[in-house]
Amino acid sequence: MEPWKGVSKAGHLVTVSELQPPTGAMQIVAYPREFDDIVKGGLNEQISAQRVGSQMVLFLKESPEASSDHWKSADLLGEMKASAVWIDVGQLYAFRQLVNPGPSVLAPWDMSLDKMRDRVSEIDRIELDLVKVTAIEAGAARAEGLKLYVRSDILEARQLALSELGKSGPKALPTIREMLADPAFADEGAELVKAFAEAGGESVGKELNMRLEERVKFWQATAPTLSVGWRNQDASPHAPLRERYMQTWELVLD
């Protein structure tokens, strides 16, 4: 009906055999509504039958090994059910794992179609921005451009930014060093250390060793009291003790 991205045009045939409802499939209206019933799985683990007038939004990649009207999932794990959103009487539904462990079930999604369309446009813009940033010659400007996406809530953008930082050369070291010192980037600490080592090579060996020694000294001073005081520590993800512990452990592993 309408392409949001790509070369397909309205009226283009799209064949996705994995989304064919099984024999005896029920419409979404028959699926469980209460949360406790939804997470149990069962009927809502299946592709639903489509009532007349219902719609879907598909996130697909071209499948060059098949005929031109066949496609494959855009999901990182290649799961076709995770590459579709069902729209039934204005309500959006998507396959999600609501509890872990637990099955992936087709459940209501608290998002409007307009908001999802805007999110797609945002991700498309970020993809184009990263293409421009990674085309910049290795150096400080490239590193600063990548820094904007190191904490992105888009997994692929975050992974690309972190992997490309190490390829930005010695002039990127001040930017990476700044992130290593910033608690806001604590969750990315291990990958930033790798990028720092790749960008600086042997020239940063001494600095990395000093960082490790500082963490080890801190840990040696803190460890004897940890078993007694751990429950009294701030349990937030970026608590000082927790951050230092995680960074130390990642450095030791590396």
Q: What is the pLDDT of residues 233-252, one digit of tens each?
A: 554 545 554 554 455 445 44
**Domain interval for residue 90:** 17-111
Q: Does residue 232 fall inside a structural domain?
A: no
Residue range 173-195, pLDDT digits in tens: 999 999 998 999 999 988 999 99
Mean per-residue pLDDT, 141-147: 96
Q: Could you tell me what percent of the chain has a pLDDT over 90? A: 53
* Angle, CA of 154, 2 and 72, to the nearest 5°: 55
pLDDT recorded at residue 243: 53
Confidence class of residue 68 from pLDDT cuts 50, 70 and 90?
Answer: low
Whole-angstrom distance, CA of residue 247 vs CA of residue 232: 20
Mean per-residue pLDDT, 67-93: 85
Q: Does residue 75 fall inside a structural domain?
A: yes
Out of 51, 84, 111, pick the residue that ends a domain: 111
Q: Does residue 92 fall inside a structural domain?
A: yes
pLDDT recorded at residue 223: 63
Closest CA to 191 of 207, 209, 179: 179
Residue range 99-121, pLDDT digits in tens: 999 999 999 999 999 999 999 99
Q: How many Cα atoms sit within 13 Å of 57 on the Cβ side?
A: 17
Q: Does residue 189 fall inside a structural domain?
A: yes
Residue 62 sits in the same domain as residue 124: no
> What residue type is assigned to position 155 of the chain?
L
Residue 97 sits in the same domain as residue 157: no
Mean per-residue pLDDT, 153-178: 94
Residue 96 sits in the same domain as residue 182: no
Q: Does residue 107 fall inside a structural domain?
A: yes
Domain count for the chain, please give it.
2
Q: Does residue 243 fall inside a structural domain?
A: no
Mean per-residue pLDDT, 26-47: 91
The total number of residues written for the chain in this structure = 254
